[in-house]
Chain A
Amino acid sequence: MNRSTCGLALAGALAALAGSVSAETITVATVNNGDMIRMQGLMAEFNQAHPDITVEWVTLEENVLRQRVTTDIATGGGQYDVLTIGNYEVPIWGAQGWLLGLDDMGEDYDAADLLPAVADTLTVDGTLYAAPFYGEAAMVMYRTDLAEAAGVTISEAPTWAEIADAAEKMTDKDAEIYGICLRGKAGWGENMAFLTAMSHSMGGRSFDTEWVPQYDSPEWVETLTLYLDLMSNYGPPGASSNGFNESLALFQSGKCGMWIDATVAASFVTNPDDSSVADHVGFAKFPHKDGVDNTGNWLWSWNLAIPASSTKAEAAKTFVEWATSKEYLALVAEKEGIANVPPGTRTSLYENPEYLEDAPFAAMTLEAMTAADTQNPSVQEVPYTGGQWISIPEFQAIGTAVGQQFSAAVAGSASLDQAIASAQQLAKREMTRAGYPK
């Protein structure tokens, strides 16, 4: 017995070695995306301006980050002072009272300069609950050299039929060129983001006005049929485990003819340091079905928010203000080139002629972001808001389960009909459990 107390004391002593923690150390949880990593490299500048604040980073892969951060904030663990969360979470969490309002940012923050489409999704009852770090819509990125070689042109606002045709012509499997790369990895933020947007652009909807899931509706069936056709005939092998990051790596190493994904990728695929195809990338709008006036309404932003429970709210706010300010954009422009600034958050950036010139994707990005109408995501009547996600807490559960079914269809371990039937059943089950229709 004596020994075990002795052991505990020893353990305690070791733990005390953990070191002194200053009152001004803030912990920032973030995803391991390029723009965030870039920010970590610029911390010297922040420390120069704010020597009294030390920033501890917790960098994690998106799914792990979401799980960690949600567990912490929902249980009141208080481990983080700044959270990186999506515009899917912000309204839900804001309404729960989990986040600190950010209306009183400093004078020169110029909140009016934030892109209205983005700021709207971050505002609940007139209060801004998170500051956008970067924003994105979705578009088509394609290899101009391959398109030319294959003799196809991709119009500025392509239809799905056009995309399918181009994918077929660009595919050259012997040369390891795959006509089209799309998300196949299961997850509500992975394949379901793409498919939900795609179904909207095909005239579909995820729920009818009575909150009945629509995964077996004709529009969804059409969406999934085309998606599977594209993936199995013109997609890369292993497509069922490709998410955004995997597709980016494929596109950068020259293996994809087209890639329909988040606009934020544009600066990575055109950056010659990281991309072997930087000089041959063209851009077009997210496709739509002929006759349907809808391009998916994909709108995402990664935002910095402060938990309402943070005991270091002031320091946290100082950091958030810095990281999402115009000055930060200027800093990145100075150090890394203006094409590499985090896109999609500020109107002023898209009025900067230098940016428009250096970033060939700027105009298309702005256009896609402005066109995204998260209030009316479908041409049909719907009870929800959103675009590539549906703004209800249950969407995570549904997207996770349904996404697995569609991923199985891509892998070939389930047929299209099986996948659709299971998806519909799973979504219904989840909605019943959550007590819908409300």
Chain B
Amino acid sequence: MARAVSTRRKIGFTALAWAVGLLIFFPILWTVLTSFKTEADAVAIPPKFLFTPTLDNYATVQSRSNYGLHFMNSVILSLGSTLLALVIAIPAAWAMAFQPGRRTKDLLMWMLSTKMMPAVGVLVPIYLIFRDFGLLDTRLGLMIVLTLINLPIVIWMLFTYFREIPGEILEAARMDGASLWREIVHVLAPMAVPGIASTMLLNIILAWNEAFWTLNLTTSKAAPLTAFIASYSSPEGLFYAKLSAASTLAIAPILVLGWFSQKQLVRGLTFGAVK
């Protein structure tokens, strides 16, 4: 009897969960569908769920913009800035987690507060600095900026993760006379890997989607997909299908990455929220 009730409950919850899930996902689904329509079908009333798919929009987008270049830039920028941020952040988070001082918490909050600065307010100064150092429209320049704006989040996320690693293990390893290097490589690294992996994933997502600096500090050579999509915003005439195709192209890579790695992402994405 109890089993039957729980199965019925399960079905009920399943229906509800699927309905909500599909509702949330719907705008993305609709965009992907629209990208395969003709412009006329895209604005048809009532909306068409069944239609003859076409690849024309993708061809148009490809002939208008160099998707490959923008895609490569997005990959290089998000990967590069993430690696750079990790290299700088791991030691810092490590030290803060295992050797916390009285000011550690304030320091962390200060770091986070640097992220609250509105970027628009400092665009002109940064533009001038970039001009003087010849960094405008270079991947290096953008990589540095992306690293800096995401560094606080990276440090914080790593910090919360590292803190959950019990200090006793360290002590034990030290007792055994392990060198600092051995301690890190053999004892701590394996425990830290999941946290680092999910930090890395989150940071890649944030860097991929950053749309202010990437648009304002690049023109063509270093421009990532955020700049690519900007050229499809509000053009002349009917453009829903082309916009959808460009949007799909811009979000597909990161969406696929996110889905495949969601387990890893979730594991470390707790920010110390879960004991």
Find B136's partner among A12, A61, A79, A244 (CB 8 Å cutoff).
A79
Inter-subunit contact A249/B239 (CB<8 Å): yes
Within 8 A of B (CB), among A232-266: 243-246, 248-249, 252-253
Question: CA of A12 to CA of B230 in the docked complex: distance in angstroms?
Answer: 27
Inter-subunit contact A7/B138 (CB<8 Å): no
Chain B: number of interface residues, binned into ranges: 35 or more
Is A149 close to B, CB under 8 A? Answer: no
Is A56 close to B, CB under 8 A? Answer: yes
Find B230's partner among A14, A61, A79, A249 (CB 8 Å cutoff).
A61
Inter-subunit contact B234/A6 (CB<8 Å): no
With a CB–CB cut-off of 8 A, which chain A residues contact B40?
276
Inter-subunit contact A60/B234 (CB<8 Å): no
Inter-subunit contact A77/B238 (CB<8 Å): no
Find B231's partner among A41, A60, A78 (CB 8 Å cutoff).
A60
Question: CA of A253 to CA of B83 in the docked complex: distance in angstroms?
Answer: 49
Stretch of B49-57, B123-131, B198-206 with 4 or more beta carbons under 8 angstroms from chain A: B123-131
Chain A: number of interface residues, binned into ranges: 35 or more
With a CB–CB cut-off of 8 A, which chain A residues contact B138?
15, 18
Inter-subunit contact B234/A79 (CB<8 Å): no
Inter-subunit contact B237/A245 (CB<8 Å): yes
Question: CA of A277 to CA of B222 in the docked complex: distance in angstroms?
Answer: 41
Within 8 A of B (CB), among A25-60: 27, 29, 32-34, 37, 40-41, 56-60
Question: CA of A37 to CA of B242 in the docked complex: distance in angstroms?
Answer: 13
Question: CA of A159 to CA of B180 in the docked complex: distance in angstroms?
Answer: 87
With a CB–CB cut-off of 8 A, which chain A residues contact B222?
18
Would you give the 0/1 interface string for B191-228, flagging 1 where the beta carbon is closer than 8 Å to chain A?
A: 00000000000000000000000011001111100000
Inter-subunit contact B87/A57 (CB<8 Å): no
With a CB–CB cut-off of 8 A, which chain A residues contact B39?
274
A14-B139, A61-B234, A249-B238 known; A7+B88 contact, CB < 8 A? yes
Question: CA of A268 to CA of B45 in the docked complex: distance in angstroms?
Answer: 22
Inter-subunit contact A248/B131 (CB<8 Å): no
Is B232 close to A, CB under 8 A? Answer: yes
With a CB–CB cut-off of 8 A, which chain B residues contact A68?
216, 219
Inter-subunit contact B221/A3 (CB<8 Å): no
Given contacts A4-B88, A61-B233, A176-B45, 13 further A-B contacts (CB under 8 A): A3-B91, A11-B80, A15-B138, A17-B139, A18-B222, A19-B221, A29-B219, A33-B236, A41-B63, A61-B230, A75-B127, A79-B137, A246-B234
Interface residues of A (CB under 8 A from B): 3-4, 6-8, 10-12, 14-15, 17-19, 21, 27, 29, 32-34, 37, 40-41, 56-61, 64, 68, 71, 75-80, 176, 243-246, 248-249, 252-253, 268, 274, 276
20 contacts across the A-B interface (CB closer than 8 A): A6-B87, A7-B88, A12-B140, A15-B139, A18-B139, A40-B64, A56-B221, A58-B220, A58-B231, A71-B127, A75-B128, A77-B130, A245-B234, A248-B236, A249-B238, A249-B239, A252-B238, A253-B43, A268-B236, A276-B40
